[in-house]
Amino acid sequence: MQASQIAYTARQRALGEIRGRVQKHVGSWFKDHECVQIALCACLREPEEAMGFLFKKEVALASILRKRELSMNIHEWDALFGALAVAHNQSSIEQIANDDEFKGMLERMETALRCTVQEKELKHTWARGWTKAACVVAMHTDNHEDLVSSSLGSVVRADSRRLEELRNEIDDDEKETMMVSSAVVALSEAIA
C-alpha cells in the first residue's frame, strides 16, 4: 500500500472515531470539521473559552462536561496533523497566517524550537503553514510536547526545556482564545 493511501486510511479512521464519540456524547448533527473542532477544543488545557467561542452554549456545555471522552488522542492527532499527514484545503490556514497574534506565537515557538527547525528534514516540515497551526494548538494542550513532536516528526532534545518554558509563559499570558480558536477552525477545515 502506498504512503498516501496509508495516510488517507489513517485519517478516515481517526475522523470516524472522533465523529462516533461526538455523536455519542454531544449530538449527531455535526459535520466532520465540527467534530474535529470539538475534539481539538477538548484537548486544550482550558477548553471552556474556545468551546464557548465556537459553539452554542448547550453544545459547549455538553462538550466540556465530556471533554475527557471527546479529547483527541495521540493516534488521532498523528493521523490528522502528524508530520506525514496531508491537508486538503489550506485557505483557512493561509488566512490565520496573517494574524499578528498568530505570527507572534510562531516567533516564540521558533525561538523555543531553534535546534529542531534547523534540522534539514524538520525545517521542511516546519515550513508548512498547517504544521505551524497544529503546533500552536498543541502548545495549548496538556500533552504539548508529544503533539508538537508528532506534527514535526520529532523535537530535538535540546529544545524540550525551552518548549516547557514557552508553555509556562503561555499559561501566564493573557488568554489567546480567538487566535487558538481560529487555528482550531483552520485545522479542522484543512483535513475534514
- Considering Cα of 33, then 38, then 39, then 43, what sign does the dihedral take? positive
95 occurs within a structural domain:
yes
Angle at 149 between CA 54 and CA 11, to 5 degrees: 60
Question: Is the domain of 65 the same as that of 103?
Answer: no
Backbone φ, ψ for residue 44 (5° rounding): -65, 150
Tell me which DSSP letter residue 116 carries: G
The whole domain housing 161 covers 91-191
86 occurs within a structural domain:
no
Question: Is the domain of 103 the same as that of 183?
Answer: yes
> Are 180 and 136 within 8 A, CB to CB?
yes
Question: Is the domain of 31 the same as that of 49?
Answer: yes
Question: Is the domain of 108 the same as that of 181?
Answer: yes
158 occurs within a structural domain:
yes
152 occurs within a structural domain:
yes
Cα dihedral: 151, 154, 5, 97 (round 10): 30
Total number of domains constituting the chain: 2
- Domain boundary (53, 81, 109) is at 81
The span from the CA of 88 to the CA of 107, in Å, is: 26
51 occurs within a structural domain:
yes
The span from the CA of 155 to the CA of 152, in Å, is: 7
pLDDT tens for the chain, 192 residues long, are: 687 788 889 999 999 999 999 999 999 999 999 999 999 999 999 999 999 999 999 999 999 999 999 999 999 999 999 999 888 888 999 999 999 999 999 999 999 999 999 999 899 999 999 899 999 999 999 999 999 999 999 999 999 999 999 999 998 887 789 999 999 999 999 987
15 occurs within a structural domain:
yes
Is residue 32 helix, strand or coil? helix
12 occurs within a structural domain:
yes
- Domain boundary (81, 113, 133) is at 81
Q: Could you read off the pLDDT of 30-49 as tens digits, one per residue? A: 999 999 999 999 999 999 99
162 occurs within a structural domain:
yes
Question: Is the domain of 101 the same as that of 182?
Answer: yes
Give the DSSP H/E element, type plus range, for residue 80. Answer: helix 74-81
At what angle are helices 129-138 and 74-81 packed, to 10 degrees?
Answer: 160
- Domain boundary (62, 81, 100) is at 81
Question: Is the domain of 77 the same as that of 104?
Answer: no
